[in-house]
Structure formats: C-alpha cells, structure tokens
Amino acid sequence: MVGGNIIEQARNEAGLSQADLARRSGTSRPTLSAYEHDRKSPTLATATRIAAAAGFDLTLAPRIEFRQVSVARGHPIHVPTALPRLPLTRALVTVELPLHLNWSDRGRRYDLRERRQRARVYEIVLREGGPDDVLAYIDGALLVDLWDELVLPHAIRTAWHAVVTDQSTEQVA
C-alpha cells in the first residue's frame, strides 16, 4: 500500500465496507470512520487488529526517499534510496500510463505480466517519471530481473546502477 490512510487502504483492497470491517475487527463504524479520516489515531495494537481483520499485516519497510540526479539536457531523474515493492495486484496488471509519461503513444495499454511490455513501462518510467511514478509502476524485484535487458541512456543506467545492484543481493524494500 502506498501513501494515504493505511486502514482505509486495507479496507478498500479487501473490498470491505466500513460496517463489515468494523464488525470483523470489533470496532464501531463511527470509530473506524474517524480513523480513516484522521480525526482519531488508533493505537498500534488497534491498527494491527483492524489490518488483520482486513487480511493484512502491519510490517516495517525501509522508507524510500528520492535524490534528484541531473542528466543530459538538464532533465533531472529521481532515484530512490531503496527499491520499492508492489503488491501483486499492482505489479502484474494492465496499465495505461498517464500522458506525462507516455505522451508519444497515448492510450496504449501495457500488460505487466508480459516481460517485454513490463520492460517498456520500466524504461519509460525510469526515463520520464518522478517519485510517484516510480512508486506506482516499478517493482524492485522485477526491475532487478529486467535490469540487464533494459534499453536506457547511459546517464540513467549509471544513476540507477548502485541502487539496483546493491539491492539485488539483499532484500528489496
């Protein structure tokens, strides 16, 4: 799950209504709503119980921050401090990239289950994308797997090389 309120994200990804999750977690619907709208903050134990009722675990993951690297023609790229992981429901789906990424082939859909199409999306995002795009479309383990096959400008490959190769032997975020 990326950004936003984790209780609301867990509920939405589980396909549950507030009433359903409240009942499953032993919390009232108004209290759950208050948690989702940041009017109240649950304790860690309560957040863990609610997440578990939605079918999720709360886990620690490294914070991913981005550094900006200038490359040819002054166009900066954004390189993460660690490689992000996507849930399978987002890592291997069909996507239509937003116009700011895929301006030359508007409306094209890419099936990320297909290696060649996934490589094309990763090339586009690494060249054109910002931090939000990296977090939305790039799965670190799949990037490591594709790394040697990606067609990237030398400056972008150089900027990303350390994070990709350092993470290839360690656990990806």
Q: Is the pLDDT score of 2 beyond 70? A: no
6-63 pLDDT, tens per residue? Answer: 999 999 989 999 999 999 999 999 999 999 999 999 999 999 999 999 999 998 888 8
138-162 pLDDT, tens per residue? Answer: 999 999 999 999 999 999 999 999 9
User: pLDDT-derived band of residue 105, with 50, 70 and 90 as boundaries?
Assistant: confident
User: pLDDT-derived band of residue 67, with 50, 70 and 90 as boundaries?
Assistant: very high
Count of CB atoms within 10 A of residue 129's CB? 22
> Which amino acid appears at position 91 of this protein?
A
**Which residues are bridge partners to 80 per DSSP?**
66
Q: 101 phi and psi, to 5 degrees?
A: -95, -45
* Cα end-to-end distance, the chain, whole Å: 12
Give the pLDDT mean for 99-113.
Answer: 92
What is the structure's pLDDT at 43? 94
Structural domains in the chain, CATH included, are 6-53 (1.10.260.40), 66-167 (no CATH)
Average pLDDT, the chain: 90
- Residue 52: both structure tokens together: 């578990």
Count of CB atoms within 10 A of residue 93's CB? 12
